[in-house]
Amino acid sequence: MTVTGTARRSRISPEREAELHEAVLELLREVGYEALTMDAVAARTKSSKATLYRQWGSKPELVARALRCAQPVSLRDIDTGSLRGDLRRMVELSDDGQMAKDTALMRGLAQAVHSSPELHLALRQLLMEPEITGLGVMLQRAVDRGEVASDNPAVRFVPHMLIGAFIALPLMEDRSVDRAFLGDFIDSVVFPALGV
Amino acid sequence: MTVTGTARRSRISPEREAELHEAVLELLREVGYEALTMDAVAARTKSSKATLYRQWGSKPELVARALRCAQPVSLRDIDTGSLRGDLRRMVELSDDGQMAKDTALMRGLAQAVHSSPELHLALRQLLMEPEITGLGVMLQRAVDRGEVASDNPAVRFVPHMLIGAFIALPLMEDRSVDRAFLGDFIDSVVFPALGV
């Protein structure tokens, strides 16, 4: 199983694409993943199902791309010249209200992931892996600049630290991550572990 | 809502209690949380439903206590004289096969938690909080011994680091945590963040 789709994605305008993605997220919040149908998306967006399938291939892919489109921060786009600056920028670009909404949405999806391996794969390939890759590039720049020792064993665990914190906090304290928590966590855990 | 039950727990023998907990986990693996009924537990364990309710109060509580009973490690019971020793002992007492089984079980429960706030509360109060408290006691001893600075800001994040790693790894790499991963993570992230 692979997720493709870059080639076919040029057929509609970026504005129209953003509109469709927003409609998908709306529906997702309203009815949940299981009950979301391509018919409902077609009706809501006044487009044909053929267009949806041509553009996104499948429901899991459509949902994963819609979520990715809604992300306020893409780590690949951050490059301030220092690792401290890069991670601070990541926190600055995050939005408390958005993170709370995302946590609710991701909780619902965590449930759907159990019954749909296709959704799990699409979320991993389209949502998680690009950010993990972006984080890897960010960390490699820090190593290249001499900010982090190239053999520092914590480097490979930075994604686990960040993704873990995002999931552990709601589970432990029933609240979603906000900028204050994220900033504290990075200052208290990530930087010391990296020796920055 | 609170979870009680210590007073009434003396009515059956510890052996019988362990037997009942094992039967609950068996049923949980077979049919999942939603389909698990007190009737099925009563039938499987040849006990009356009245006994089950008197002993455990409710299905969420029964399930949470059964899971807690199956835990090979309780952090409260570890005290080697140093934080390094304590966390190493935690890893030693963990069992790869058991952690893989637990991950599968917890994935199923993560799903049930969405539709049952009672289950979420029981898991948090009976499974998560005692371990977080145990970890807190362990860390306080390390501070008292002078191994960790009392104002080290990473101390409060140790539960997030450990719980986060347990959840992030399966999500990112589709495999459950094993002793090797846990040991590496603690050596590479937890100890450096704590300055140990």
Least confident of A33-42, A136-145, B7-16: B7-16
Same domain, yes or no, for B66 and B121? no
B41 plus B135 within the same structural domain: no
pLDDT band at A20 (very low <50, low <70, confident <90, very high): very high
Q: Residues 6 or more apart from A144 whose CB is under 8 A from it?
A: none
| Amino acid A3: pLDDT | 52
- Is B176 in the same domain as B94? yes
- Tell me which chain A residue has its CA closest to the CA of residue B164: A164
Residue B89 shares a structural domain with residue B30: no
**Cβ separation A168–B159 shorter than 8 A:** yes
pTM metric for this prediction? 0.86
A78 and A52 fall within a common domain: no
Residue A6 reports pLDDT greater than 70: no
Residues of chain B with C-beta less than 8 angstroms from the C-beta of A171: 124, 128, 163, 167
pLDDT score of A167: 86
Instruction: For residue A165, give how far its alpha carbon lies from the nearest alpha carbon of chain B (Å).
Output: 6
Looking at A40-54, A69-83, A110-124, B132-146, which range is the least confident one? A110-124
pLDDT digits (tens, 9 = 90+) for B149-170: 999 999 999 999 999 998 889 8
Domain count, chain B: 2
ipTM entry: 0.85
Give the structural domain span for A117.
Answer: 73-196
A12 to chain B nearest CA, in Å?
A: 32
Q: Are residues A96 and A63 in the same domain?
A: no
Same domain, A94 and A189: yes
- Nearest chain A Cα distance for residue B68, angstroms: 16
Looking at the structure, do residues B85 and B16 belong to the same domain, yes or no?
A: no
Number of H helices, E strands in chain B: 11, 0
The CATH number of whichever domain residue B147 belongs to comes to 1.10.357.10
The pLDDT mean for chain A works out to: 89
Q: Are residues A138 and A62 in the same domain?
A: no
pLDDT tens column, B8-49: 555 788 899 999 999 999 999 888 898 899 999 999 999 999
Q: B113 and B193 share a domain?
A: yes
Same-domain check for residues A40 and A66: yes
In A47-128, which ranges are continuous DSSP H helix?
49-56, 59-70, 83-93, 96-115, 117-123
Query: Which residues on A lie below 8 Å from B185 (Cβ)?
Result: 157, 160
Q: Are A29 and A15 in contact (CB under 8 A)?
A: no
Q: What pLDDT sits at residue A1?
A: 45
Q: Which residues of A touch B107 (CB under 8 A)?
A: 114
